[in-house]
Amino acid sequence: MASRRKPLSIKTGRENSGSGVGEKEGGEGNGARNGEITEEEEEEEPMSPAGRLFLQPRFNCHIVSVIGCGKRMDVDAVKAGLEASLARHPRFSSIQVPVSDEKKLRWVRTKVNVEDHVIVPDLDPDAASVNPDKVVEDYVAALSGAPMDHSRPLWELHILNVATAEAAAVAVLRVHHSLGDGISLMSLLLACTRQCSEPDCLPSIPDARRSTSAAANSRSGLLALLLWIWADLVLAWHTLVDAIIFAATLAFVKDTRTPLMGMEGVEFHPKRFVHRTVSLDDIKDIKKAMNCTVNDVLVGITSAGLSRYLDRRYGEGDDMKKKEKKGLPGNIRLRTALLVNIRRTPGIHALAEMMEKGKGGAKWGNKLGYMVLRFPIAVFEDPLEYIRRGKAIAERKKNSLEAVFTYWSAWVIVKIFGIKAAAALCYRMVIHTTLSFSNIIGPVEKIGFYGHPVVYIAPSVYGHPHALTLHFQSYMNTMKIVLAVDELTIPNPNQLLDDLAESLRLIKDAIARS
């Protein structure tokens, strides 16, 4: 049986004003303040299958975004800002209510008391003065062991007015994953911010899509038709192959058990969240030199960093009397279960308008498919080999409808066999892989969060059966590497951050020499 730690307790500095329903799934409250349904409430669409999946016991997923601010936070100003924006969003002002005589849930609008959602904890002043970064890190880790009150809309903002090495204060936004997918929720968070240089302007996000119109216009009609037919054939073939591999992963194909793979029940363990800032310009230099995308570079850096970390871990148990160090085993299968949003992400302007009006205009929710992506694990003499292989892997996955296939397959399973069957299959797929991975594009200019300049944004997620979750988040000219780890599996997450940062440096140096 897997060993478990007791969930950490959090002092919030206020009484829990819940109704006693606590964390019972889909529970109803006893007053408008705690989620009671009144005449003013508005019933909305039923909860999506993906949203219901994130409420299952072994997929009780939450998104956590740590926001570093450049000055001490004015709690009243933040509350006023939330009242006029986030609290007006349809999902952030709704509770989950069971449908009568059915094992389903629907969203029901309720009055939001912002006081219930903004938490200013009582932190130990002595510990905060000695090691403020550790205090903040411990607090966020404790959140991953603390349940949310389902009698209220499932979001919280924790304000920690503690000066750390990077920021003058820290805000921690915790949102249940059933409210939306990660990309949409990040877009919503950015819709609550404004540019520091132009306080009335929303942030601008670069378009990551490649422009192919010029190349297409230069082709003749017949050649373009032949290329279109060939591209569709390749897409169909790749999708078929990926569907077979995905089915095999569900059935019997497991990743190699490495020091990065969690034990049974890892989804119930509290997580440790650590992050590191690296240069986005360095990543763009590699992208330009290797003629690839930023995402290709990140796949290569991840492959290199994981290889360095595992090479060290496999050598730690060697007999010191032996002169030869045990090397990294060959043919390691290490993959990520990558969640892909197959719905076009609502724009920041559309989300800002949605919050202003307090009703839906942009498409919202969880419309997610899975994609299985392999990271090469090896020690290459040429650091650029990681980028070449990362580019090849990413390019191959772009020519596949694997995520669309898995989304509709899950939809059919839910309709025929129910949400528990779909959750069991998703759980089986995730435990046969090693880690979760994502890359989110952030603003290119400095932004303010209700009047507080943002220094960094570090998002992550917990509640799924992986011991390691790796996020990349860009902001201005920096890139945040964010890890969420199970410390029973990865007791030294900062060493893994070092390996990822060092891999970027070695690849950048190799580019300079080439």
CA-closest candidate to residue 449, choices 89, 116, 171, 51:
171
Q: Could you tell me which residues are beta bridge partners of residue 1?
A: none
- Six-digit token string for 301: 């850096």
The one-letter amino acid at 407:
Y
CA-closest candidate to residue 143, choices 170, 111, 113:
170
Q: What is the C-alpha separation between 500 and 505, in angstroms, rounded?
A: 9
Strands 435-440 and 118-119: unpaired
Cα 389 to chain centroid, rounded:
24
Strand order in the sheet with 105-109: 43-46, 105-109, 94-98
Which residues 6+ apart lie within 8 Å of 271 measured at CB? Answer: 141, 144, 460, 462, 469, 484, 485, 486
3-state secondary structure of 352: helix
3-state secondary structure of 389: helix
Ranges of H-type helices in 252-367: 280-290, 294-315, 348-357
**E strands of 177-284, at which residues?**
193-195, 272-279
Q: What is the C-alpha separation between 179 and 388, in angstroms, rounded?
A: 37
Whether the CB-CB separation of 135 and 8 falls below 8 Å is answered with: no
- Six-digit token string for 162: 């503690």
Distances (CA, A) of 100 to 42, 93, 103, 105, 245: 17, 21, 8, 9, 40
Q: Which of 177, 275, 464, 466 is catalytic?
A: 177
CA-closest candidate to residue 17, choices 93, 115, 124:
115
First to last CA, the chain: 51
Ranges of H-type helices in 30-74: 49-53
CA-closest candidate to residue 308, choices 506, 500, 510, 488:
500
Strands 368-374 and 335-341: antiparallel
Active-site residue, 177 included? yes
CA-closest candidate to residue 140, choices 481, 478, 458:
458
Catalytic residue list: 177
